[in-house]
Chains A and B, each alone.
Chain A
């Protein structure tokens, strides 16, 4: 075999390798259908109210409405704005006050305007034993688009005075389940 025949033989070998080296039975257009859909559970805020938040040193009611606000800057992040498809809020309370409460969870935009509000009733305890209750709010669709303008979270509670001594403890817990759809 001379030089040129050897080159030819190697060329044939290379061509054969490349010829048999193929990709078969694949559909790469499926890449457009890839969706990653994680569900994230996260705590939000918690708080505890006692009689000290409502009554003075002689037991007289001085305050019937309390409120605190926090910024939630992460709501402005791109992955929330673009890929959040649903959000479930869960609020749980444990109340040993004889009084009931109206609790309002308010989401505010940068201008301080209310973009979403959740109101729920916290029942009082007739026996002094703590009463557990919970409330779930699901936000999706157009409501969610409006919710995405939120940047602040405010939790307010109004004690419903009943004539009973104001004494007890109200524990409040909250969490969110965020449903994402990354395409």
Chain B
């Protein structure tokens, strides 16, 4: 299992980080060193990105055509081999509008509008075992109900950024984002344990214990996307009522003529949900050992209490259940951190004799550190890359990413600049394309836009 386990990157492809010849790199580091003077994307086509990832499980693990085992054997094997920290994720981004220009002060301003879908679901290990096997074979086991952790959202993002060259060596940048959440569903930070233990000296065979339950499922926004028409989509993406603010910050620093250090924090922000909200929650502890019949003595009337109703009411009193609409809650955006150390070498493509610091080289190599804040804990990866400007109009980049799961994640980026027209495509884990069913991750991004440099 997990032969092709891969890196599942949130946001855009890691290949686009430090690809300063593409405006999309500004969305990953607003402080990237920008050489061009203007860009505008072809609406809806400048950035199309899709990614799915599963840290451990593949389609092949369950559905492979293998008569030596049944699908139920494989499901059972998967349930026990996955851990509570394994997760499934999906991310999609669509740039709707994108543009940038250099102002009179020489700062590069950029703005745009994109739509993003983000889903992450951790494998609910203990609840899955409980559902799959039941408690009969697990007497004494304490099932952690906190294993349930998932989050999904569809967000529309309006953004405006500024990129400033503060010195010969340092570029900094920032971006302000206005989030409008079209849909959000969140169930994270759950707690609680369930166990069934034998009680040889108890009133009955077992004690069923639900301890410290504190679980909730919150959602906001559109109830059913199937009911939406195009007008509703645009309306809910901008005026849905669930808004948030965020910032991106970053810098690029030339250590010397050939070495550069960059770093950025992306999506440092929150969304406040108050429109079309619903929260389902349960909290408390309860112990159950069956219904205790009370037989009357000979002097008492033979009443039969409503045992079952008493049990249900007792449970509700100890584990209050709520289903509330119209409340509010806040979610944090999945903040990403990027940093890279890059070395540029090879023949200078543009030799600036008056200012050798401005030399550009044909090759770049470096490492990129990436981390993203997840509901449970940050996930990180390290990518090595080689970027080559093979021809004047053609940039290519090859990446190799390592994380706790993979050893074979090779990606690429190709970007062609024909006059002012730019076309790019990048993909992650390309070895996985040979059989997607065996691949733990796949990421693809492509787009087309106009990039204008006044010098040309």
Give chain A's interface residues, CB within 8 Å of chain B.
Answer: 1-3, 6-7, 9-10, 13-14, 17, 20-28, 30-31, 33-36, 38-47, 49, 52-56, 62-63, 66, 68-73, 90, 92, 155, 173-175, 177-178, 180
Report A-chain residues with C-beta under 8 Å of the C-beta of B289: 43, 46
Report A-chain residues with C-beta under 8 Å of the C-beta of B297: 52-53
Rank and list the top 5 A-B pairs by shortest CB-CB distance, nearest first: A38-B134, A43-B290, A39-B136, A70-B307, A47-B293
Main SS of chain B's interface residues?
A: mixed
Do B423 and A63 touch across chains, with their CB atoms under 8 A apart? Answer: no
**Chain B's nearest CB lies how many Å from the CB of A176?**
10
Given A14-B446, A35-B72, A53-B296: A28 touches B63 (CB 8 Å cut-off): yes
Given A20-B433, A33-B71, A34-B71: A43 touches B292 (CB 8 Å cut-off): no
Give chain B's interface residues, CB within 8 Å of chain A.
Answer: 59-60, 63-65, 70-72, 75, 130-137, 139, 196, 203-206, 208, 288-299, 304, 306-309, 391, 393, 414, 416, 418-419, 421, 423, 425, 427, 430, 433-437, 442, 444, 446
**Chain B's nearest CB lies how many Å from the CB of A78?**
16
Give Cα A23 to B439, complex, Å.
10
Report B-chain residues with C-beta under 8 Å of the C-beta of A44: 204, 290-291
**Chain B's nearest CB lies how many Å from the CB of A124?**
18
Give Cα A68 to B421, complex, Å.
84
Do A23 and B416 touch across chains, with their CB atoms under 8 A apart? Answer: no
Do B295 and A49 touch across chains, with their CB atoms under 8 A apart? Answer: yes
Report A-chain residues with C-beta under 8 Å of the C-beta of B437: 23-26
Report A-chain residues with C-beta under 8 Å of the C-beta of B63: 26-28, 30-31
Give Cα A85 to B135, complex, Å.
17
Who on chain A is nearest to B422 by CB?
A6
Partner of A45, one of B196, B291, B393: B291
Do A40 and B136 touch across chains, with their CB atoms under 8 A apart? Answer: yes
Most buried by A among B295, B306, B309: B295
Partner of B60, one of A26, A43, A56: A26
Show 9 residue pairs from A and B whose CB-CB distance is below 8 angstroms, ordered by the A residue: A22-B435, A33-B70, A39-B134, A46-B204, A47-B295, A53-B298, A68-B295, A174-B204, A174-B290
Partner of B293, one of A9, A20, A70, A90: A70
Give Cα A21 to B288, complex, Å.
53
Do A31 and B71 touch across chains, with their CB atoms under 8 A apart? Answer: yes
**Chain B's nearest CB lies how many Å from the CB of A68?**
4
Do A68 and B304 touch across chains, with their CB atoms under 8 A apart? Answer: yes
Given A31-B71, A45-B290, A174-B290: A71 touches B307 (CB 8 Å cut-off): yes
Do A46 and B293 touch across chains, with their CB atoms under 8 A apart? Answer: yes
Report A-chain residues with C-beta under 8 Å of the C-beta of B298: 52-56, 62-63
